[in-house]
Amino acid sequence: MTVRPFERIVAEYGPAVLRVCRAVAGAADAEDAWSETFLAALQAYPDLPAGANVEAWLVTIAHRKAIDVHRARARRAVTVEHLPERPAPPPVRPEDRDGDLWAALAALPGKQRRTVAYHYLGGLPYAEVAAILGGTAEAARRAAADGIRTLRATYPATPGGDDR
């Protein structure tokens, strides 16, 4: 069996991995986590078994790297010459168009947020989500259902809040 070039792996699974990183680590740390994920995956890719689920493997790496990047950023001190009188609002980037959705997702409890991210954004079945987070597939299904119910209640589908 021939091994697929790693560039194709990145092209195929990169967007899903970025969504997972963004959901777990937040918008500010997502790109760093994404890069770290694929650097680690590149190093381990030659040893990946032939029948392995590449997407699940990448999401597992992304999960760990997102947590690592988030922890590393929290440990770093931010130095400034003068403290502002009021905190400045974060800059709005073009790719943050769905900021309200990401904020609603970030407001979910940790397990619900990660379960929704891995299942709905990463495309993993509940059994694999349970393997990543610990617990059973039924518990993962329940956490995802609770998270989606909360998102439906807190995030409007249309600007007026009308779901039709």
32 contacts 139 by C-beta, under 8 angstroms: no
Please report the pLDDT score of residue 88 as a whole number. Answer: 65
pLDDT of residue 137: 94
Express each pLDDT in 55-97 by its tens digit.
Answer: 999 999 998 888 888 788 778 777 878 766 776 666 656 455 5
Tell me how far the alpha carbon of residue 3 is from its chain's centroid.
27
What does the alpha-carbon distance between residue 148 and residue 133 come to, in Å, rounded to a whole number? Answer: 18
**For position 3, what pLDDT does the model report?**
77
- Mean residue pLDDT of the chain comes to 84
Q: What is the pLDDT of residue 127?
A: 92
pLDDT at position 30 is: 87
Look up residue 18 and give its two tokens. Answer: 């970025």
